[in-house]
Structure 1
């Protein structure tokens, strides 16, 4: 059901974009809008991962790092039947993590130093598994495309006053309304897609690490940390907020309609409901951890 909802929301985003182009310039405006979207998506497809990692000053982790993070990611990637992604660390006290990349063969997982310090090894395995689930589900590519569409719609809406066709079709009041409502609608669709994908990644992440309670416990700690510790880079670049496992911005100050993530308590409740049920991967109850995720090692 999550995939169907995502497809419907993606269709809504595309229709909104084409509609704005038509209102601005008729059929020619719609064609121009489509060409702009293709160009922006092509650029984002090939460069978004590098841009985001550079934006957050993420540093690569070697295969023999002392913390054992690289070994953990490698083991969980094998569980998920994924190629080994690049591993990065972001030097910020806020506990958080994200995945990026256009496909599983060109993916990266980034975790913060705050996350490394605040979680147990099992909890961190749950977080890494969640990010690998995003890669496996190709959510990173979906969110790149929707973010690009949302940005393009905002750009087109801001150009509205410069297009005579839009004023003739809708009048000045209608044009001003479109400048406000079109970007808002695009942002709401983007956020809805992000929230849908988080639930799917939570469930798939539990399957990868073997115990949903590891991720549930981690989410509770991360949410508390993100609420009281600033992530200054994310605050300066709010367009990347949807990528993190927990919203790095102080979203609790805003209405839930505008949140990029589902309520953490709802995600934890959904994970807890999995306990006692049979895992489709192992045929064992979820409450029994899988051996690969229990490996111990030095921790930072």
Structure 2
């Protein structure tokens, strides 16, 4: 028996609209060298190496010593850019966001020549409020900084204590200071692979718009109390409430295989960010810790 959790969060009210339109910016972009000497079509999701290879500007990076021949790519700064029209009327929505699921890695983001944010972590997503900047027709730029140069500067700035290793073994012919950047560590080389510290947009990027409120994320965690010998499911939901008035809603938590069905009434204020719920599981339900953990990993 496995745990299945279904949490339905419905925010209701006059004119309530939780989920608005979403417009993906995947597909064709332009990739240019930082000094402006090279510009070529690229694809998102994708990276600089792929764009250069697809247009015949480099050979197979994994062939013989091309990891050394193409080292210049990782030392350059690159820019991803795109012009696009939004297929819905942005003035109809209270909040418009630009969402990146994955950016590799250090970049300044400009929308219509206005800096809206920066990234420095490959492993997390980013969300930027563009309500006051977005137009019907837009230009978007990600000005990347060389991950190798960034890591080097971060290492120099850290003077409190040494952080080993400074560089990989010389046999790997890799780059140094990878422990100073939140990036795929093997991209600076590993004992089983060459060094290709790329730049690019490696996951989805999209525009989202909404009114009233928006569910940012939903998480749950099963917890066992040895004293009472009861299971509890801790649920946390994060909202962005843009309505100036309180938003009433209802949460239904259904776990059919544990004979659990519970409903909660909630009210969200404009500055309220999270809702936390504790769902007690009946003692008569057959639950084992292993099965609970299987569903949370």
- Band the TM-score falls in, shorter-chain normalisation: under 0.3
| Higher helix residue share | 1
Taking structure 2 as the reference length, what is the TM-score of the superposition? 0.24
Larger Rg: 2
| Higher strand residue share | 2
Taking structure 1 as the reference length, what is the TM-score of the superposition? 0.24
